[in-house]
């Protein structure tokens, strides 16, 4: 960028709290599903509750993907740059840049 840029201000205390709560919540979900299945399997009992090992692995993978998505969202917001000529934010494969003269409208949700 050839113009001065500004990063968006972030409340890091709040963000760290949200990440810790998300890790605890999603971790508990993954732990509860995995341990229920593992304890029944380890005792030689049939696995109840409709869970199978592939479903358990899929649920654990889904939990990891949810955490990754949250962390990626925070990373993207933390590295968003607003300049006098353009807006820039990281994306998965490169940096996404939108010049202000290309903006035709702003939607508020």
Sheet holding 81-83, edge to edge: 5-7, 81-83, 86-90, 95-99
Q: What pTM value is reported for the model? A: 0.75
pLDDT in tens, 36-62: 999 999 999 888 888 999 999 999 999
How is residue 40 written in tokens?
């029944």
Domain-wise residue ranges, the chain: 7-80
pLDDT in tens, 6-16: 887 888 899 99
Going from the C-alpha of 73 to that of each of 13, 16, 55, 83, the distances in angstroms are: 16, 13, 27, 20
């Amino acid at each position: 960028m050839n113009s001065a840029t500004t990063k968006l201000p972030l409340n890091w205390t709040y963000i760290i709290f949200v990440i810790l709560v998300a890790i605890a919540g999603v971790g508990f979900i993954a732990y509860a599903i995995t341990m229920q299945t593992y304890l029944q399997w380890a005792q030689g009992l049939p696995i109840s509750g409709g869970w199978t090992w592939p479903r358990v692995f899929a649920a654990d993978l889904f939990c990891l993907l949810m955490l990754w998505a949250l962390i990626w969202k925070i990373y993207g917001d933390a590295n968003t740059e607003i300049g006098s000529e353009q807006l820039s934010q990281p994306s998965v494969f490169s940096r996404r840049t939108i010049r202000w003269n290309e903006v035709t409208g702003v939607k508020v949700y």
